[in-house]
């Protein structure tokens, strides 16, 4: 891995390290993802004391990071399938499970136009027991370093905004539609 990719990953780690648990060992998915981040939040409501829990909800976010020189559709399909498979293996729906997000963050020098279209149109959502045991949603965002552009699917909007703000990219002004 060259120095620029290491610097990019370190920047991503500093962004996510505040609220996420980082795992930098690089063994995820056969070494495809150099790092992952995990977020967990549990919220409970009590009646009189903590012994009497009225209700509780749990939220999870599993983030997979990867860096490539060029992103084409076949590579994107491979990353999507692998991150989705790894993320779904970690989702454990139960009555207190509210939501789980599987997020893929890709840093690429260049991205094919077909891959950009596929990335924007990727929509994966799964409900567990008619949403009584929560749901899972797939977020994906990619940064094209050569053009300083961030692309995401509709569910990955917050990830796109986070990357734009932290990498100093200029998002369009309010009221201006993205192409």
Over residues 25-52, the pLDDT tens digits come to 766 666 678 889 999 998 888 888 888 8
Q: CA nearest 68: which of 17, 1, 15? A: 1
List of E strands, 11-134: 21-23, 35-47, 49-71, 97-111, 125-127
Indicate if the pLDDT at residue 176 is higher than 60: no
CB 73 within 8 A of CB 36: no
Please state, in angstroms and rounded to a whole number, the distance separating the CA atoms of residues 68 and 51. Answer: 50
Please state, in angstroms and rounded to a whole number, the distance separating the CA atoms of residues 145 and 7. Answer: 13
Q: CA nearest 109: which of 160, 145, 149? A: 145
For 153, the token pair is 């699917």
Strand partners, 42: 58
Over residues 140-151, the pLDDT tens digits come to 999 998 888 899
Please state, in angstroms and rounded to a whole number, the distance separating the CA atoms of residues 13 and 37. Answer: 9
Where along the chain do its domains lie?
Answer: 3-42+55-166
The pTM for the full model equals: 0.87
């Amino acid at each position: 891995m060259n120095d620029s990719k290491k610097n990019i990953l370190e920047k991503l780690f500093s962004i996510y390290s505040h609220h996420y648990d980082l795992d930098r060992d690089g063994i995820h998915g056969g070494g495809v993802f150099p790092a992952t981040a995990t977020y967990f939040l549990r919220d409970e409501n009590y009646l009189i004391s903590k012994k009497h829990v009225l209700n509780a909800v749990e939220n999870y976010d599993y983030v997979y990071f990867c860096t490539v020189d060029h992103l084409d559709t076949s590579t994107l399909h491979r990353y999507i399938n692998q991150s989705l498979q790894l993320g779904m293996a970690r989702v454990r729906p139960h009555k207190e499970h509210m939501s789980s997000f599987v997020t893929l963050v890709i840093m690429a020098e260049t991205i094919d136009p077909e891959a950009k279209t596929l990335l924007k149109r990727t929509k994966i959502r799964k409900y567990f027991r008619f949403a009584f045991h929560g749901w899972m949603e797939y977020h994906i965002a990619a940064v094209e370093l050569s053009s300083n552009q961030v692309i995401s699917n509709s569910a990955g909007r917050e990830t796109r905004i986070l990357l734009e703000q932290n990498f100093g990219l200029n998002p369009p002004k309010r009221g201006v539609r993205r192409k």
